[in-house]
Amino acid sequence: MKIGVLSFQGDFQLHTSAIGQAGAEPVEVRNRDQLFSCEGLIIPGGESTTLLKFLEFEDFTQPLVDFGRERPIFGTCAGAILLAREVENPSQCSLGLMDIRVRRNAYGRQADSHTEICRSPVLAQEAFEANFIRAPIISRIGPSVKVLAYSGSDPIWVREGLHWAATFHPELSHDRRIHRMFLERVRQARKIADCELRIAD
Ligand code: GLN
């Protein structure tokens, strides 16, 4: 199974190796054909304003929105900012694929980057390491958004429909449980889509 990583800017190389380690074939995605050869996509952390410039320059916003209507996307940090419906501090464009609002750089500057040990019911409440680098905060979640993990009272990992957003960098730890779970999510989505196709036939 091919899983893409949007590879214009940011932490895409660590995500591609994480996908390989988790058992799928990673694809560095820089054009439409590469994108649609994949069953799911990771939008990595980086700098969301720079990522947005690449998307505009490469005319890649609409392909991503089209892809996200059918297949799972996991946005991490800047990727979560891109998936959000609303962005503040300051307000900026986004793909609007998840009903969340995010506040950029909500923990302060680079020096305020930190690592936390968190727990999630989808990881059987076992500890995992969450690395926050100039991370956003998810400041609003819509009614169909499920929180998969919190830091204090802040949601840091959420799911809505096909998509996931995390404000931390799962690729920065050696733990591959989160990437493996995303692959499982993509497999499930593919099974459901295949079933719907068969019913429609
Ligand atoms: N601060 C960055 C932004 O606003 C996100 C940082 C990251 O992805 N680690 O886009």
* Nearest by Cα to 45 from 85, 10, 95: 10
Is the pLDDT assigned to residue 109 strictly greater than 80?
no
What is the pTM assigned to this prediction? 0.95
Average pLDDT over the chain, rounded to an integer: 95
pLDDT at 126: 93
The residue whose CA is least distant from atom 5 of ligand 1 is: 78
Rounded to the nearest angstrom, the distance between the alpha carbon of 11 and the centre of ligand 1 is 11
Residue 110 has pLDDT above 70, yes or no: no
Least Cα distance to 76 among 10, 2, 150, 174 occurs for: 10
Question: What is the per-residue pLDDT for 94?
Answer: 97
Give 104 Cα–ligand 1 centroid separation in angstroms. Answer: 7
Atom number in ligand 1 closest to CA 50: 10
Q: Report CA(194)–ligand 1 centroid distance (Å).
A: 36
Query: Tens digit of pLDDT for each residue in 57-93?
Result: 999 999 999 999 999 999 999 999 999 999 999 999 9
The ligand 1 site (C-beta within 6 Å) comprises 45-48, 77-78, 81, 104-105, 133-134
- In this prediction, residues 109-137 reach a mean pLDDT of 90
Residues serving a catalytic function are: 77, 169, 171
Q: What is the number of the ligand 1 atom nearest to the C-alpha of 169?
A: 9
Examine the pLDDT at 192 and tell me if it is beyond 90. no
Confidence of residue 1 (pLDDT cuts 50, 70, 90): very high
| 3-49 per-position pLDDT tens digit | 999 999 999 999 999 999 999 999 999 999 999 999 999 999 999 99
What confidence tens digit (pLDDT) does each residue in 148-181 have? 999 999 999 999 999 999 999 999 999 999 999 9
